[in-house]
């Protein structure tokens, strides 16, 4: 299903029940943070995921997560993770914390995009991944026209890829 909804750009996804401090992740996302697929499925405290973030990036990412939990703002950060296989990978993580009727943080879903083993590692992408990252940048810029153009590029790319996948 993930490939249908987010063709070629999303590597994995997670959901964090903030009040219970239980973060669930698909097997790919769990492994990016140094966790087993079983650990991702059963749900762990978010600190277990934070431990998988490279030590030089962890404090910054923790601060941004705290801001997003507090005010419900969109979260979009690029950082390094230490995978279950011992590899350091660059990812972009995006999500948003939703609050309940009383304003308390409740649920925080999100997704990751693999950026490769080093900054600018284009071999980790196909065109869909590059468009996805451009869309994230456009959202950060707040430029609605640029966001629109990239949304159209994404739709065209997705349509082209689907036509190529259909048997003749």
Residues 2-125: name the CATH superfamily: PAS domain (3.30.450.20)
Percent of the residues in the chain that have a pLDDT greater than 90, as a whole number: 53
What is residue 7's predicted lDDT score, i.e. its pLDDT?
Answer: 40
CA 167 to chain centroid? 31
Residue range 91-134, pLDDT digits in tens: 989 999 999 999 999 999 999 988 877 665 444 445 566 666 67
> Which tokens belong to 1?
């299903």
CB-based contact 80:54 (threshold 8 Å): yes
């Amino acid at each position: 299903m993930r490939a249908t909804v987010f063709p070629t750009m999303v590597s994995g996804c997670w959901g964090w029940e903030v009040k219970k401090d239980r973060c669930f992740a698909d097997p790919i996302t769990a492994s990016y943070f140094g966790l087993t697929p079983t650990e991702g499925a059963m749900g762990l405290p978010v600190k277990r995921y934070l431990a998988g973030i490279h030590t030089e990036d962890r404090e910054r990412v923790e601060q941004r997560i705290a801001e997003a939990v507090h005010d419900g703002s969109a979260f979009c950060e690029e950082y390094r993770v230490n995978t279950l296989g011992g590899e350091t990978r660059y990812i972009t993580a995006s999500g948003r914390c939703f609050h309940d009727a009383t304003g308390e943080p409740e649920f925080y879903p999100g997704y990751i995009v693999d950026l490769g083993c080093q900054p600018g590692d284009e071999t980790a992408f196909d065109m869909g991944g590059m468009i996805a990252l451009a869309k994230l940048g456009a959202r950060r810029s707040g430029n609605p026209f640029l966001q629109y153009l990239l949304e159209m590029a994404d739709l065209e790319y997705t349509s082209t890829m689907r036509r190529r996948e259909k048997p003749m």
